[in-house]
Structure 1
Amino acid sequence: MKKSVILLLILIMILSMAGCKKKDNTEIKPTVTPTVTATPTPTATPTPSPTVKPENHDGEAKSKLTGLWVSKKVSNKRPYAIMFNNIKKASPQSGTSEASILYEALVEGGITRMMGIFEDLNKTRIGSVRSARHYFVSIADEYDAIYVHYGETTYATKKISALGINNLSGLTGIGDTVFYRDHSIPAPHNAFATKEGILKGTEIKGYETEYPKDYEGHFTFYDKDTNLSSDKNVNKITLKFSNYASPYFTYDSKEKLYDRFQFDTKHIDYNTGKQLAYKNIIVQFVKEWNIDKNGYQTMDIENSEGKGYYITNGKKVDITWKKNEGTRKMRYYDAQGKELTINPGKTYIALFPNDRTEDVVLSDIGQ
């Protein structure tokens, strides 16, 4: 009996040890938290900036009249200064929009006359062309221009001779070559020049057609369109030359140009049907008076100085000017006394009596 008990106890101990061994040999696996791999946010591919190609101006040069790029052949040409009739029954004129610079000044009887400075001639009909005035002769000389006119006063004849101006006059033997009459228009308002005639007349006269190498040009230009630092807004300019002639300009803020009106309507070019428009407006105040009983005008611009306005891009600044006819130089200056820099483009210049500055009306009429 004792043996049986002892054997049973031994058996129980063996089974217990076997159970503990089995338990100790069981592999306990750790709980593993699965790793979640984040989906990468796709990187946006940058849009390449458009390549700005440098402007190619091979074979070109800056115009001495507009500051714009033109062919070197054109940039080296001497300009033509052409006199334009400017009365109502002779309007609209032909070719005025081709002029790089357009001058306007009083002549006798309260009417104005215009002179266009042409860098190149494209149209065949230019005019109507009228007679010379001595102050326009002096201005033409500033540009080393060949002066084109049909008739002249004795004052103009003397000035042409004194300054040695190359000119093409309708009242000389060259007249029929350069000009023709449009008989549908009453004389003397019907004389027109042609491109072919002007070039032929220049050839016959043997005039030099290129600038002298020492010619410096009339203006200094910005490289690109530039707004004036000014608090004076000008959206309308009225020039009350007389009761007969009161042209005005309105500012087109979209085009950044001043559109010209006269005789209560748009001032258009007969050749194109388009309105005259200018990037730059210069009002040059001059001392002006009657030179004789016929009402012919004269002005102090030979060796003189004065004041004025420069207007562009809807703004105005005050300027001064100085001219020395002996050196052929006419220069404009800003308020700091530095030579005026103007925007590239076409320019209109009014020679206006300095004792009537109130008749130049500048308005900010809004857009």
Structure 2
Amino acid sequence: MRLLTSLATMLVLGVLIAGCGQKTAVEPKPEPDPPAEEPVDRVTVYPYTAPFTGLGSKEKLDGRRPIMVMINNQTQARPQSGLDKADIVYEILAEGEITRFEAIYQSQKPQVIGPVRSIRPYYIKIAEGFDAVMVHVGGSEEALATLAGPNYADLDEIANSKYFWRESFRKPPHNVYTDLDKINQAMEAKGFRTTSELPRFPFLPADAKITEGSPATDISVKFHSLYSASYKYDEEKGRYLRFSDGKPHMDLTTNEQLAVTNLLVVASKHRVIDSEGRRTVDVTGPGDGYLFQQGKARSVKWKRSGGVIRAYTDATYSEEVPLLPGNTWINFVPDSPGLKTAVQFQ
């Protein structure tokens, strides 16, 4: 009996010892999911910079000669084509108590430009500061006499109609159009120089935030008692949307509302010189102005320097105010009654 009990005890101990020598299988824990990657804003890096806009460019633009086109702004000419692709636009009163646009093209290519209109001496003075080829339909006697000189490259539709066309949906003189392909063809045929030493402008970084100045999200610019324009700041776009006579100012070709990154409004001497209502306009300065950027207004001084109109912090003209990367519009208003009467903003 004792032998059986001993054997049983040994058997139980053997089983226990054998059990202790075995490892219990443990299911592996699943690997935790890797943390989700945060979205990365991929910024396109361009090899070049457009000289008149400060924006990135895939092609080298330094040295490319600018092209200036006179564009009609009478009611019958709206909406125009191509203003949205101009690097710089000057808006100045002509006769008829309405403004005319002087559009400078260098880095962008609109499909269509027009309606093209006639030129005046003060528009010539602005264009020559850019060494631009001047595109127009006729002009005042004084302007045409100036352009007859040896130092200008101009393309007048009256003598060069094959580089323009007339649209049937508008009546003359509001129906003359062109494009940059035709202008470049004309430049080649006439032996115009295609390169130029360009004026330079200071630009802020692309991510710059304007903090200085008074709130200015709604702007009204009265050029004449019979004509005004206005701008409304679009915070999402970071640009001012343009209105003419209270209506959105659209581009006919793209059906997009005109938008402006830098708006400079300056006051200068205006004087009517003949019975047709033609004017002389001072585009040299100096004078007072407002620079509108990112919903802010800043009082500035302006003058023509290095051939082009620039804004300065004060009357010492020692510090030029930099522009935001993008297009620039410069509006000229008469110095009588003056800037504060002509320009309202809030």
Q: TM-score, normalised by structure 2?
A: 0.83
- Give 1:200's match in structure 2, choosing from 185, 196, 203: 185
Moved more, 156-165 or 183-192: 156-165
The residue aligned with 1:98 is 85
Q: Distance in 2 between matches of 1:361 and 1:224?
A: 28
Q: 1:230 to 1:176 in 2, by over 3 A?
A: same
- Report the Cα offset of residue 194 of structure 1: 2.6
The residue aligned with 1:184 is 169
- Give 1:286's match in structure 2, choosing from 230, 247, 268: 268
Matches within 5 A, 1:313-352: 313-323=294-304, 328-335=307-314, 337-352=318-333
- Report the Cα offset of residue 264 of structure 1: 2.7
Q: Distance in 2 between matches of 1:181 and 1:244?
A: 28
The residue aligned with 1:76 is 63
SS of the residue corresponding to residue 246 of structure 1 reads: strand
- Report the Cα offset of residue 160 of structure 1: 2.9
CA contact (8 A) 1:105 1:112 kept: yes
Matched, 1:56 2:45: yes
- Report the Cα offset of residue 45 of structure 1: 8.6
Matches within 5 A, 1:27-66: 56-57=45-46, 60-66=47-53
Q: TM-score, normalised by structure 1?
A: 0.78
Q: Distance in 2 between matches of 1:268 and 1:280?
A: 18
Q: 1:351 to 1:223 in 2, by over 3 A?
A: same
Moved more, 71-80 or 47-56: 47-56
Task: Count residues with an aligned counterpart.
Answer: 312
Q: 1:64 to 1:231 in 2, by over 3 A?
A: closer
Q: Distance in 2 between matches of 1:197 and 1:256?
A: 33
- Report the Cα offset of residue 75 of structure 1: 4.1
- Report the Cα offset of residue 275 of structure 1: 0.2
Q: Distance in 2 between matches of 1:286 and 1:161?
A: 27
- Report the Cα offset of residue 161 of structure 1: 4.4
Which amino acid counterpart does residue 239 of structure 1 have in structure 2?
V
The residue aligned with 1:140 is 127
CA contact (8 A) 2:250 2:256 kept: yes
The residue aligned with 2:240 is 258
Q: Distance in 2 between matches of 1:45 and 1:248?
A: 53
CA contact (8 A) 1:178 1:193 kept: yes
SS of the residue corresponding to residue 224 of structure 2 reads: coil
Matched, 1:115 2:102: yes
Unaligned residue ranges in structure 1 (runs of 5+): 1-43
- Report the Cα offset of residue 329 of structure 1: 4.3
Q: Distance in 2 between matches of 1:300 and 1:363?
A: 24
The residue aligned with 1:296 is 278
- Report the Cα offset of residue 70 of structure 1: 1.3
CA contact (8 A) 1:94 1:125 kept: yes
The residue aligned with 2:9 is none
Q: Distance in 1 between matches of 2:299 and 2:288?
A: 8
Deviation string for 1:75-126 (max 9, x for gaps)? 4321111111101111111111111111111111211111111114634421
The residue aligned with 2:152 is 165
SS of the residue corresponding to residue 140 of structure 1 reads: helix
- Report the Cα offset of residue 56 of structure 1: 3.4
Matched, 1:305 2:294: no
Matched, 1:235 2:217: yes
Q: Distance in 1 between matches of 2:271 and 2:233?
A: 31
The residue aligned with 1:273 is 255
CA contact (8 A) 1:288 1:353 kept: yes
Moved more, 191-200 or 345-354: 191-200
Q: Distance in 1 between matches of 2:234 and 2:42?
A: 30
SS of the residue corresponding to residue 147 of structure 1 reads: strand
Which amino acid counterpart does residue 91 of structure 2 have in structure 1?
E
Which amino acid counterpart does residue 200 of structure 1 have in structure 2?
Q
Q: Name which one, 1 or 2, has greater alpha-carbon Rg.
A: 1
CA contact (8 A) 1:227 1:312 kept: no
The residue aligned with 2:228 is 246
Which amino acid counterpart does residue 270 of structure 2 have in structure 1?
E
CA contact (8 A) 1:79 1:118 kept: yes
Q: Distance in 1 between matches of 2:340 and 2:297?
A: 16
The alignment's C-alpha RMSD in Å is: 2.5
CA contact (8 A) 1:279 1:345 kept: yes
Q: Distance in 2 between matches of 1:231 and 1:339?
A: 16
Unaligned residue ranges in structure 2 (runs of 5+): 1-32
Q: 1:124 to 1:227 in 2, by over 3 A?
A: closer
Which amino acid counterpart does residue 182 of structure 2 have in structure 1?
G
Which amino acid counterpart does residue 180 of structure 2 have in structure 1?
K
Moved more, 203-212 or 158-167: 158-167
